[in-house]
Amino acid sequence: QKEVEQNSGPLSVPEGAIASLNCTYSDRGSQSFFWYRQYSGKSPELIMFIYSNGDKEDGRFTAQLNKASQYVSLLIRDSQPSDSATYLCAVSNAGGTSYGKLTFGQGTILTVHP
Amino acid sequence: DADVTQTPRNRITKTGKRIMLECSQTKGHDRMYWYRQDPGLGLQLIYYSFDVKDINKGEISDGYSVSRQAQAKFSLSLESAIPNQTALYFCATSDLPQEAFFGQGTRLTVV
């Protein structure tokens, strides 16, 4: 089982719709969770991070964390064509010798069509 | 100047050659990482280092080695390159629990 899993997609949504991206992780003690956006051929850039159960909103983006279910999601409201990219979920390990190790999922390709 | 700089940006090398990818950072972070990305895939962790004296294998370390020459420098070596090591390589730094900062990437082709 991979440590961090995402649906690879592609996920296609119409402009103005809500895009929902999901991620599960295997290390129950993980403490920090990140969503990165990566345009083709470019470096990943951070969109959101979340540490506590519940929702965290930043503009059109909402991150949701459920530690009991080991699940983290990203909602993008009013999706725009410029949101078309690969979205990477990342998890920071909690303890032991790998404390702070940053592990990524395989990414979900999002396409927003006009 | 970029906070995380990778050199070279592009490299074509022959099977069996030794190659080194270099990464330097001005963020002052202790943690540095090397990732590999294949087309359509996410980032796979090759090696990570939490300080100059601490180096750890990631999920795909076979065929790679690293050197942490200083807090700011972390190099990745392919001792004998093979075609399936053709990929996009990223160096990153972080200061837990904050975000990771990535270099521009090195596109490596092994022929």
In order along its 114 residues, chain A shows pLDDT tens digits of 678 999 878 999 999 999 999 999 998 888 889 999 999 889 999 999 998 899 999 999 999 999 999 999 999 999 999 999 999 999 987 655 556 678 899 999 999 999
Q: Which helix (H) or strand (E) holds A62?
A: strand A61-66
Q: What is the pLDDT of residue B15?
A: 97
Segments of chain B assigned E as strands: 4-7, 10-13, 19-25, 31-37, 43-51, 54-57, 64-70, 73-78, 87-94, 100-102, 106-110
Q: What percent of chain B has pLDDT over 70?
A: 95
Q: Can you tell me whether residue A98 is helix, strand or coil?
A: helix
Q: Do B42 and A92 touch (CB under 8 A)?
A: no
User: How far apart are alpha carbons B49 and B85 in whole angstroms?
Assistant: 21
Q: What is the pLDDT of residue B99?
A: 80
Size of interface A-B (CB pairs under 8 A): 61
Q: What is the pLDDT of residue A99?
A: 62
Provide the phi-psi class of B59: left if phi over 0, else alpha when psi is between -120 and 50, else beta. Answer: alpha
Residue-level pLDDT, tens digit, chain B, 111 residues: 679 999 999 999 999 999 999 999 999 999 999 999 997 678 899 999 988 999 999 989 999 999 999 999 999 999 999 999 999 999 999 886 668 899 999 999 999
Q: Which helix (H) or strand (E) holds A19?
A: strand A19-25
Q: Which residues of A touch B (CB under 8 A)?
A: 6, 8, 31-32, 34, 41-46, 49, 51, 88, 90, 92, 97-107, 109
